[in-house]
């Protein structure tokens, strides 16, 4: 079922080199081709629309579920996935989409992921996007993520896109109940004429909820990036946004952080910075024997880690 290109895409978006341990669902060109449930994590196809339900039993610890998608030229895919993360569980969810497009028609994947993180549960969610192929057809990825975090829940998100996606719009909505915690790390690279838009909206509705959003991006060539990062405090809460971008060549970057407080004990902070690579950094690395290009690549790699 999986050819050499498929395996390369799975390694890029889900770090999969063999069949993973634990639960998994692999989707290729609009169809589920491999699936496995475990005693604690059940994966069930939806009956009314494309997608799956992932059901994690309460109290499940140290388990993972992988749900990558791979797509070829000339295909458009839409999927709806729902996650029930049981109370008191602690799990890793690895998603993401890889597109190989050597043709002239666009390849596009739109994914809607809805999470219910129950009381006291912990979830780490990793979503990677990757595109490749020498064809003129565009590689388009539009993920929408909706997360409800109940009391005492902890959610960590890693959203990564570092190569080959021509257009993307990331839309992430998160609601935090009392004593829940959110950590978001976003890393984004665009080049050529690629366009990327990221919208992250976090509502802190419960007392002592907290959120930290760190977004780092690099825009090269004629690419464009737009960021809307929003924190809304409706209770006694804490929130922090940090958005840093490196801009190069003829690229354009717009960063629009917004903080809104609807409670006197909401403590919210935002920071945003856009700039070029500092010449002092380049010179320091070049004195160590690196060429200017090698020094530039080393700086960008470190920035996006």
pLDDT for 44:
97
pLDDT tens-place string over residues 90-113: 999 999 999 999 989 999 999 999
Q: Determine how many CB atoms are found less than 10 A away from the CB of residue 137.
A: 18
Beta strands 23-28 and 61-66 are: parallel
- Tell me what pLDDT residue 247 has: 96
10-residue mean pLDDT series, the chain (305 residues) = 88 85 92 95 96 98 96 89 98 96 93 97 97 92 97 98 95 98 97 97 98 97 97 98 95 95 98 91 88 90 89
Specify the pTM: 0.94
Joined together, the tokens standing for residue 154 give: 């902890």
Which residue has tokens 């007392």? Answer: 207
The C-alpha angle 167, 81, 85, rounded to 5 degrees, equals 125
Max Cα separation, the chain? 62
The terminus-to-terminus CA distance of the chain in angstroms comes to 33
Which tokens is 231 given? 């924190």
Percent of the chain with pLDDT over 90: 83
The two structure tokens encoding residue 284? 């320091």
Domain residue limits, the chain: 4-278
* HEC per residue, the chain: CCCHHHHHHHHHHHCCCCCCCCEEEEEECCEEEEEECCCCEEEEECCCCCEEEEEECCCCEEEEEECCEEEECCCEEEEEEEEEECCCCEEEEEEEEEEECCCCCCEEEEEEEEEEECCCCEEEEEEEEEEECCCCCCEEEEEEEEEEECCCCEEEEEEEEEECCCEEEEEEEEEECCCCEEEEEEEEEECCCCEEEEEEEEEECCCCEEEEEEEEEEECCCCEEEEEEEEEECCCEEEEEEEEEEECCCCEEEEEEEEEECCCCEEEEEEEEEECCCHHHHHHHHCCCCCHHHHHHHHHHHHCC
pLDDT in tens, 221-254: 999 999 999 999 999 999 999 999 999 999 999 9
């Amino acid at each position: 079922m999986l050819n050499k290109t498929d395996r390369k895409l799975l390694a890029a978006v889900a770090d999969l080199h063999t069949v993973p341990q634990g639960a998994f669902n692999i989707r290729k060109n609009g169809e589920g081709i491999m699936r496995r449930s475990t005693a604690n994590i059940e994966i069930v196809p939806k009956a009314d629309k494309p997608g799956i339900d992932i059901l994690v039993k309460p109290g499940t610890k140290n388990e993972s579920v992988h749900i990558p998608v791979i797509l070829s030229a000339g295909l458009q895919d839409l999927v709806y996935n729902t996650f029930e993360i049981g109370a008191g569980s602690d799990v890793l969810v690895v998603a993401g989409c890889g597109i190989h497009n050597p043709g002239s028609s666009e390849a596009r994947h739109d994914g809607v992921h809805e999470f219910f993180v129950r009381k006291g549960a912990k979830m780490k969610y990793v979503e990677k996007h990757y595109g490749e192929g020498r064809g003129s057809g565009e590689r388009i990825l539009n993920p929408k993520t909706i997360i409800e975090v109940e009391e005492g829940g902890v959610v960590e998100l890693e959203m990564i896109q570092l190569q080959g996606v021509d257009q993307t719009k990331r839309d992430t909505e998160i609601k935090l109940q009392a004593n829940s915690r959110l950590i978001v790390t976003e890393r984004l690279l665009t080049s050529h004429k690629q366009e990327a838009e990221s919208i992250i909206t976090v509502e802190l509705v419960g007392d002592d909820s907290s959120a930290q959003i760190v977004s780092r991006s690099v825009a090269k060539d004629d690419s464009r990036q737009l960021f809307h990062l929003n924190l809304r405090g409706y209770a006694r809460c804490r929130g922090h946004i940090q958005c840093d971008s490196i801009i190069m060549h003829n690229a354009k970057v717009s960063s629009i952080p917004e903080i809104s407080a609807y409670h006197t004990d909401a403590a919210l902070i935002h920071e945003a910075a856009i700039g070029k690579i500092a010449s002092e950094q380049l010179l320091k690395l070049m004195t160590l024997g690196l060429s200017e290009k090698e020094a530039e690549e080393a700086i960008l790699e470190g920035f996006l880690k």
